[in-house]
A = this chain, B = another copy of it.
Amino acid sequence: MSLAQLAGLLADPTRAEFCTALLDGRAWTAGELARHAGVAPSTASEHLSRLIAGGLLAEERQGRHRYVRLAGPAAATLIEDLSTYADTTAPTQPPPRNLRDSTRMSAEARARTCYDHLAGRLGVAVTDALLERGLVADRDGLTITRRGRAWLADVDIELPDRTGRKGGRPVVRSCLDWTERRSHLGGALGAALCRTALDRAWVERIGSGRALRVTADGHRALRELLGVEMESGRGDG
């Protein structure tokens, strides 16, 4: 299989969306993915067949359901690397064109999702706090510590089942932040934190983009759980 063929698998928005969704490490049914991406089941079926044939996804048939998941940690890493690069690489528009863009960029610099985890000053602050408190360690790349696992259980955050095991997603990955020029937290842990923050309304999306607003609950949770003081969402952007 050639480089172009492999890239071609991910070059379609629908297939990319499938892979992005599957990065949570769980297995989805064909129908779930079809609905998630907003395409007909027939279309999804064809896409899945191609992704499986290309070695990016693996399938498990159960009765009349076709469960698919990422083929392995290498696949997850690959997709995450590509997403990171896609996010990191600045488009051809360094200078914001107008007030609307400028506002949006400020908001994204403050807090946004990078793919499926937190980025911007919020993402970096959370990462720093985790490192400082010894919940995550930086030796030969980032790893979660025993204290970190205890802390997760403490605050009732669960990692997906297969995380860190063979075929699962790596627990922690560092992801370069293009606004902060620093690393923030990716991997399954980053995704779990982001999902938790959204589920518990610590942050909420601003409009339809990637920018996030930290809620009052969120400020409180960040302070109590991690000792992170985030700036307010209004009046400084």
Q: Which residues in A have some Cβ–Cβ distance to B below 8 Å?
A: 1-13, 15-16, 19-20, 53-56, 71, 74-75, 77-79, 81-83, 85-92, 140, 176
Contact = CB atoms under 8 A, between A and B. Distances in A.
Given A3-B10, A75-B85, 9 more contacts: A1-B89, A2-B16, A3-B82, A4-B12, A6-B85, A8-B11, A71-B89, A74-B88, A78-B85
Contacts of A2: 13, 16, 86
Contacts of A71: 89
Contact of A7 (B7, B90, B176): B7
A186 to B, nearest CB: 14
Given A5-B86, A90-B55, A11 B11 contact: yes
A78 B74 contact: no
A10 B89 CA distance: 15
A7 B4 contact: no
Interface of A is mostly: helix
Nearest to A83: B3
Contacts of A13: 2, 4
5 contacts: A3-B86, A4-B10, A11-B11, A74-B85, A75-B85
Contacts of A78: 81-82, 85
Nearest to A1: B86
A227 B71 CA distance: 38
A108 to B, nearest CB: 14
B3 A79 contact: yes
A137 to B, nearest CB: 14
Nearest to A15: B4
Contacts of A92: 53
A180 B98 CA distance: 55
Contacts of A16: 2-4, 7
Nearest to A7: B10
Nearest to A55: B89
A12 B4 CA distance: 5
B6 A82 contact: yes
Most chain B CB atoms below 10 A, which of A13, A77, A86? A86
Contacts of A54: 89
